[in-house]
Chain A
Amino acid sequence: MTSAPGEVLPAELVEVLQSINLGVVLLDSQYRVAFWNDFMAIHSGKGCDEARGQSLFDLFPELPRLWVQKKVDGVFALHNLAFTSWQQRPHLFSFSGSRPITGSTEMMYQNCTFSPMVEAPGTVKYVCLTISDATETAAQHLQLEQLNQLLRAEQIEQARLIHKLEDTQAQLLQSEKMAAIGQLAAGVAHEINNPVGYVYSNFSSLERYVSDLFRLIESYQAAAVEHQDAALGAQLEQANQALDFDFLRSDMADLVRESRQGLERVKQIVQDLRDFSHIDSGDWQEADLHKGLDSTLNVIWNEIKFKAEVVKNYGELQPVQCLGSQLNQVFMNLIINAAHAIEGQGTIWLETGTLDDWVFVRVRDSGSGIAPEHLTRLFDPFFTTKPVGQGTGLGLSVSYSIVANHHGRLEVESEPGKGAVFTVWLPRCQPLQGDSADELQAGE
């Protein structure tokens, strides 16, 4: 079997094979090398004479023996070609890379072809194995693939950001709306406050003057009795009866008292509106949550008074560091939602309390409850079960982000038909780091 190249192949053909930029190996049916060209000699470090007659698997122990044998057998049996591709089998032969300086790959990527060398018709004498260097293509391909992956990852990230942006925009819109309403309310409250202020103070004077006037009339009457002048007495009596003085006197007192109460209520509402919108406290401050709850309740009283009885069960609460107007918005959302969940007449319980360093405000209702499949989506923007036009689906999502902004959490429990419980948990003090701390200091 150890024939020289010239005996296997014509000399001119050998010359061509030596200079060609492909690895060429002739294998017999026992997988022994009959010839290989300089390409193989250079990359394997073994000359053709050294390799001739040796088994391919002794020369390259790293080859998957059985698999290569099947390939060669297939070519002998079927007289067809067989292939390996760098994509599936990058380095059949462990030749070093063909880009020693600039390349990042250490091994040569190879495409191999097994082809039959037919001797007499119908018999295959050798299998010709050619190895081409695919490093250039592979490197480019792999680079493109990497780029592709990068682009895909960026695309996914962009889609996520766009989604987040949409959510944030929606929430911003809602909270801007609420802020605008709050400002409007505060403005109206301020405008009403001035006239009510002087009416109230005038009214105090008026009350005093009226009682003075009655005292004056009483002293006139007493003087008339002392004079014992029957004619004057009769004249006065007639005037008294004509004007129904006794009724006037008693009714006047009632009117004044009721009007005063009315004015006080107007003052209270104005104060509640101002408290609710916290126009005077838009920054982080220590606030009494009970006060916030009460003023919120007063502002929305009209919406709930015919639907629900409100039972307050307030516990001990220390002042809490918060943005008062924002928290009032949360309370308003929760209480109005509770009222909307009630069909006919029901009850809304407001509970507060302290647990370790946390305070809680709980809004519980006797309404229809929340379906389990809705529980997970409750805080999603635009999620609403109300009819079109009646709910934006933003109330709870805005509430959620306000509570999150306070480093607290908004919890919900519900069973259909048994009402719902929303609990706002807030830390008594805000952590002194990050953005909120900066805001806190800016506020102080």
Chain B
Amino acid sequence: MSSQLANLSEDQRDALQELMNVAMGQGADRLARLTETFVTLSVPSIHAVDVTNTSLLSQLTIASQPAIITRQSFLGRLRGEVMVCFGENGADQLADLMGYEGVEKHSIQDELMLDVTNILTGACINGLAQQVDIKVSYGPPSLLSRGRSLQEVLGAEELRGHQALVLEIHFEVATHRFYCDLLVCITEDTVATVIKVIDQLLSDI
């Protein structure tokens, strides 16, 4: 199985990148309409790796800074987890955008981050799922760690030895001075679904 991920051809890689770009474009469009603000979802950088590959983790811009990290799983024929790295203020800047009003910031920080995680996961994964034409379901979002860097968290025992396709996405709401980073990890066994679609696309050309 690991060969399939590691041995993506140039064409496959390009097609995959294109697929992701379209998915994120659609995701960003929906987010913008929902929040009525201008949002940007960066073009994802794609890494086909062992999650514990430290050389990858050191390449990730956000991996070394201590952050609040949330996670949410998506399930089905496309399976994996999205990790969202927030700064130390979480998503406080988005409180009004997410419908929190007249409450003390501290008491809602966790829930607010989980809400943002859910929306972002939905936007990104639904975009992708539509491209490959499969249905996904979601688990509820939860807090993964607080005050540790992604490097530390992913280096921890429970995540070791997992092969995955990793997408690094940057999300920004300029008007609210908010940004966060997403790491979409798709398990290797379900990546085959994506690759099959890519191969289909390539043969259609």
Contact = CB atoms under 8 A, between A and B. Distances in A.
B33 A77 contact: yes
Interface residues of A, number: 23
A66 B141 CA distance: 21
B99 A80 contact: no
A82 interface: yes
Contacts of A88: 108, 110-111, 114
Contact of A83 (B33, B110, B118, B125): B118
A80 B118 contact: yes
Interface of B: 30-31, 33-34, 98-101, 108, 110-111, 114-115, 118-119, 121-123, 125-126, 137-138, 140-142
Contacts of B99: 64, 66-71
A79 B119 CA distance: 10
26 contacts: A66-B100, A70-B99, A71-B115, A73-B34, A74-B119, A77-B33, A78-B30, A78-B119, A78-B122, A78-B126, A79-B122, A79-B126, A80-B123, A80-B125, A80-B138, A81-B137, A82-B115, A82-B118, A82-B119, A82-B122, A83-B140, A84-B111, A85-B111, A88-B108, A88-B110, A88-B111
A74 B99 CA distance: 11
Given A74-B34, A82-B118, A83-B118, A67 B126 contact: no
A111 B140 contact: yes
Contacts of A85: 111, 114, 140, 142
Interface string A267-303: 0000000000000000000000000000000000000
Interface in A49-97: 64, 66-71, 73-74, 77-85, 87-89
A77 B34 contact: yes
A83 B141 contact: yes
Contacts of B125: 80
A88 B113 CA distance: 11
A70 B98 CA distance: 6
Given A70-B98, A79-B122, A80-B125, 19 more contacts: A66-B99, A66-B100, A70-B99, A73-B34, A74-B34, A74-B122, A78-B34, A78-B119, A78-B123, A80-B121, A80-B126, A82-B115, A82-B122, A83-B118, A83-B140, A84-B111, A87-B110, A88-B110, A88-B114
Contacts of A67: 98-101
Nearest to B34: A77
A73 B30 CA distance: 11
A71 B101 CA distance: 14
Contacts of B114: 83, 85, 88
B39 to A, nearest CB: 12
A104 B101 CA distance: 31
Nearest to A81: B138
Contact of A66 (B31, B33, B101, B118): B101
Contacts of A64: 99
A361 B129 CA distance: 87
A148 to B, nearest CB: 17
B101 to A, nearest CB: 6
